[in-house]
Chains A and B, each alone.
Chain A
């Protein structure tokens, strides 16, 4: 039976779920985009692209008996294992919601990490005993026990089809066009005003859509866009997000995705991370270029203050070359108790380097790490996000182009300007980066959200009532912050995180109270 399409409506596969039992053939429930569901014992593959590259799909492989996730696969796979008298049974699904219910115990350390602004690295999820397959991993049953299988990905194989004499910009344009053609439905590029989305929209000649939200500072973004970009008013959707019973975390607060998936029939494509992938891969002459940049225009890192000019020719450290390090959100958590911070650190410290990164040369390792970071960004470890845009930067053609350009970086004079020049060569003239930058924009959205959510006295009292007796929150401090409008604005990001955690995981905070009382009585 062919499970790549629905036999009645020709819908594409959007997800699958099933159970692996010892001694039983696995039966997988396949979900199609038309809403149909079919049970099958054959192979199942789901991925955002039309071509069946093993690296970009997640699926069930009956030959090897593995539920696997490719090294570049955007589709997450969750699984949970339980013991039965006959041996282990592994339940798996592409949706976290299939494996958990209201009674599923929540991992306290993960919730504390979310509350403190950290993340929950794979294979952990917010739920106890429910895990997420990292990219390039499979899970199966052998000898009555659950086994994990680590796949390798041939990054060097991505280079073969690429012509080495092509200019960097032409190579990137070709790769992007190939990737866009590989998306099954009519792609729509979401334009944020950044370099990546502008290039993707123009290269692929696809409809470009910008979602405008009626906030005072963001009004300036709208005026900077190209005349070919369609501007959609996302303010009603933004208000719906603000009024929702489940407030989103900061990284889910992008109104363009909600608006685009709700109003358009095509497939939204995101260029998230494309510029990052192409701009931060270290080349052989990176140290020379960064030295010249530091001498001429770039703001020097504080480590260089007071140092003589030849310091700029030293090989830059990771801290001085990482453009995000200066913009990283400070980890100030005014109302979190030390107990909450130490609990959250346990989950956040569980991040281990991927097996896909180890054992390669530095350029391949850097490309692999960037791609894995991108995949991490779009994953939903909390089980609430229903749809994600197709990440164009994870297509093998684009990854291969980045690899080719990074490898020959510095060998040819035309390419010595490096990967940023490859992207910059495709930008229209004149072009200026988006205002404001991504992180301040998120903070602005968080501030607007908090002003709306906690604008009334009643809502602030409700929030305080929910958290005032827990051991993780310093309620007196929080009360002071909520009472002062300026303090609310200052702590908008932390308040948003608090609102989201309280709304989604109230049981954890209540349990903390019970433990506190038990300790007190003891």
Chain B
């Protein structure tokens, strides 16, 4: 990846530094409406690089926020990235369901070891217009 592209990544990440998760998700929606997804990309989406820059520049944050920022930056780079939130099919004995967030690019979970496709149940995905079937918890 070129130095210019890394600087652009850093700028995009820094622009989200003082945003909370709601605002990041809103920006994902806005970006999805206003900027087109590029059909042909030169390589795989730079998820690891985005996360590395994000953690170096902004510190560590909960996975939901980190994945939201990653999705936003990838969207701005022209990748068809989605932020997906899912839950375990079997609840905890504490009666809660654990929620998980991950990034999907072109429908494939990336940068995660979660068994997103085969085990976790999808709850919601952003941006909304590309949302799959809504699952009732």
Contacts and interface: CB of A to CB of B under 8 A. Distances in A.
A173 B62 CA distance: 39
Interface in A124-182: none
A243 interface: no
Contacts of A296: 48, 51-52, 55
Contacts of B56: 295, 309
B5 to A, nearest CB: 17
A444 interface: yes
Contact of A444 (B52, B60, B89, B94): B89
A294 B51 CA distance: 10
B61 to A, nearest CB: 6
Interface in B50-104: 51-52, 55-57, 59-63, 88-95
B55 A305 contact: no
B117 interface: yes
Contacts of A487: 95
Given A306-B61, A435-B117, A297 B51 contact: yes
Contacts of A297: 48, 51, 111
A375 interface: no
Q: Which of B48, B55, B56 has the most CB of A within 10 A?
A: B55
B115 interface: yes
Contacts of A489: 90-91
A300 B92 CA distance: 22
B117 to A, nearest CB: 7
B2 to A, nearest CB: 19
B108 to A, nearest CB: 12
A447 interface: yes
Interface string B106-137: 00000101010111000000000000000000
Nearest to A217: B119
Contacts of A309: 55-57, 59-60
Contact of A447 (B55, B90, B113): B90
Contact of A306 (B48, B51, B60, B89): B60
Contact of A295 (B52, B115, B118): B52
A299 interface: yes
B70 to A, nearest CB: 11
Interface string A304-339: 111111011000000000000000011011100000
Contacts of B60: 294, 300, 304-307, 309, 311-312
A494 B90 CA distance: 13
A426 to B, nearest CB: 19
Given A220-B118, A308-B59, A435-B118, A444 B90 contact: yes
A443 interface: yes
A242 interface: no
A424 to B, nearest CB: 13
A47 B29 CA distance: 63
Contacts of A307: 59-60
A362 interface: no
Contacts of A5: none
A493 B62 contact: no
29 contacts: A294-B60, A295-B52, A295-B56, A300-B55, A305-B60, A306-B59, A306-B60, A307-B60, A309-B56, A309-B57, A309-B59, A309-B60, A312-B60, A329-B93, A330-B94, A332-B93, A333-B93, A435-B118, A435-B119, A436-B115, A437-B115, A440-B115, A443-B90, A444-B90, A490-B90, A490-B91, A490-B95, A491-B93, A493-B93
Interface of B: 48, 51-52, 55-57, 59-63, 88-95, 111, 113, 115, 117-119
Given A305-B61, A306-B61, A447-B90, 10 more contacts: A220-B119, A302-B62, A304-B60, A309-B60, A312-B55, A444-B89, A446-B90, A490-B91, A490-B92, A494-B93
Which 8 A/B pairs are nearest by Cβ-Cβ distance? A435-B115, A220-B118, A436-B119, A435-B118, A490-B91, A304-B60, A300-B60, A332-B93
